[in-house]
């Protein structure tokens, strides 16, 4: 039986439909990257130029995509990445995404800047148990968020470290993007205190205002000491930074360039992964985000050193097209494609996926 012509059959189909359904401002926010969006493009191109090496006559029983991450049994290595303000795509926002993630056995990371509360998201989906955290200028405010996440049953903290300031997002500027009434970072209500003091003559907004309040390695060590939850550091590209995060007590590292939304011309996540994996030397799980659009991409990331991947923009595309159903279908498509890729490269379980599945020129 073939699918109806109107039913999306790939993540690219969902992307085209989502662009037509979202407002110009919302599309600029979700789809855009920093500056000329070169890094966002490189994230995709890195997967396109990485070739798989099929292996044959590898049939047999016992196939599985299961793994364990930070003490949690996980059905497959495709996670929902933290994406802010999902009510821009659907009125139910992150609650719809959480319900869909649970239906597809996918672990979900909720953004600090979610447009629903972390408590509501946790109630909406049992697999929404990872909370993404920005270290706020006030340690008391940061700790208040951590305690809320702990009390709501979140099992993993994901600390994003690669965005002490926003990237230069020209696409958003051209679209005049602003959050519409009724959509806000619900988890930050009452916690954010912006400094409205005018800059003195000669002062830099970046160096004399934003970076003076930006988090440091000391803040990461403090945070790790303040919670019993595993702390995963998101936004690492340099091997030395990965080693330093591990030495500070991080339980895991996410190799990420923020979807190309902060520093343009930063290295693609997949290109950075092998060196980070070598430096980490198996001490903690590595995850990767940025550019995942096919199940073959998942296999490539795992072959180059990742334990799992996170998917962001395609989740929003599914949400914009068909709400929770669209998110669930996006996740199902990726998982089905990933299992097919495993079968065709001779991989029965995730343990079989290694660099021998990547073709290299002799």
- Which residues are tagged catalytic? 258
Would you say 143 and 119 are in contact if contact means Cβ atoms under 8 Å apart?
A: no
C-alpha distance from residue 7 to each of 12, 16, 102, 241, 327 (Å): 12, 12, 22, 43, 13
Alpha-carbon span 79 to 327, nearest angstrom: 12
Q: What are phi and psi of 274, to 5 degrees?
A: -55, -40
Helices (H), the chain: 11-21, 24-31, 38-48, 93-103, 118-124, 139-151, 170-175, 205, 217-226, 239-247, 269-280, 295-303, 313-344
Q: How many CA atoms lie within 13 A of 79 on its CB side?
A: 33
Alpha-carbon span 260 to 257, nearest angstrom: 6
CA angle 293, 294, 295 (to 5 degrees): 140
- Spell out the residues 6+ positions from residue 123 whose beta carbon is closer than 8 angstroms to its own: none
In DSSP terms, 255 is beta-bridged to 236, 288
In DSSP terms, 254 is beta-bridged to 234, 287
Alpha-carbon span 267 to 196, nearest angstrom: 35
Cβ-based neighbour number of residue 67 at 10 Å: 18
Alpha-carbon span 195 to 152, nearest angstrom: 31
73-106 burial, b at 16+ Cβ within 10 Å, e below that, comes to: ebebbbbbbbbbbbbbbbebbbbbbbbbbbbbbb
């Amino acid at each position: 039986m073939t699918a109806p012509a109107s039913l999306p059959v790939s993540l690219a189909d969902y992307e085209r439909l989502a662009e037509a359904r979202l407002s110009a401002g919302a599309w600029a926010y979700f789809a855009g990257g920093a500056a000329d969006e070169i890094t966002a493009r490189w994230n995709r191109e890195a997967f396109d130029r990485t070739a798989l090496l099929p292996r044959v006559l590898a049939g047999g029983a016992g196939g599985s995509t299961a793994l364990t991450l930070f003490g949690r049994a996980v059905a497959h290595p495709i996670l929902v990445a933290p994406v802010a303000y999902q009510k821009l795509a659907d009125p139910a926002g992150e609650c719809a995404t959480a319900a869909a993630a649970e239906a597809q056995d996918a672990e979900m990371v909720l953004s600090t800047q979610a447009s629903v509360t972390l408590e509501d998201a946790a109630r909406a989906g049992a697999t929404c148990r990872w909370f993404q955290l920005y270290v706020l200028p006030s340690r008391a405010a940061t700790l208040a968020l951590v305690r809320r996440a702990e009390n709501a049953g979140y099992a993993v903290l994901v600390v994003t470290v690669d965005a002490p300031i926003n990237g230069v997002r020209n696409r958003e500027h051209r679209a005049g993007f602003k959050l519409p009434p009724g959509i806000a970072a619900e988890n930050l209500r009452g916690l954010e205190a912006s400094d409205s003091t005018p800059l003195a003559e000669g002062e830099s907004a970046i160096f004399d205002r934003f970076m003076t309040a930006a988090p440091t390695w000391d803040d990461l060590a403090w945070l790790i000491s303040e919670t019993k939850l595993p702390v995963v550091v998101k936004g690492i590209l340099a091997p030395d930074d990965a080693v330093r995060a591990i030495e500070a007590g991080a339980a895991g590292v996410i190799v990420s360039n923020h979807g190309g939304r902060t520093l343009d011309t930063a290295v693609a996540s997949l290109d950075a992964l092998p060196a980070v994996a070598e430096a980490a030397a198996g001490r903690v799980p590595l995850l990767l985000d940025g550019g995942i659009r096919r199940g073959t991409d998942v296999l490539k990331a795992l072959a180059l050193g990742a334990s799992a991947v996170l998917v962001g923009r395609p989740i929003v595309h599914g949400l914009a097209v068909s709400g929770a159903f669209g998110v669930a279908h996006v996740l199902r498509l990726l998982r089905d494609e990933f299992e097919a890729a495993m079968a065709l490269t001779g991989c029965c379980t995730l343990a079989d996926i290694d660099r021998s599945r990547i073709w290299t020129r002799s």
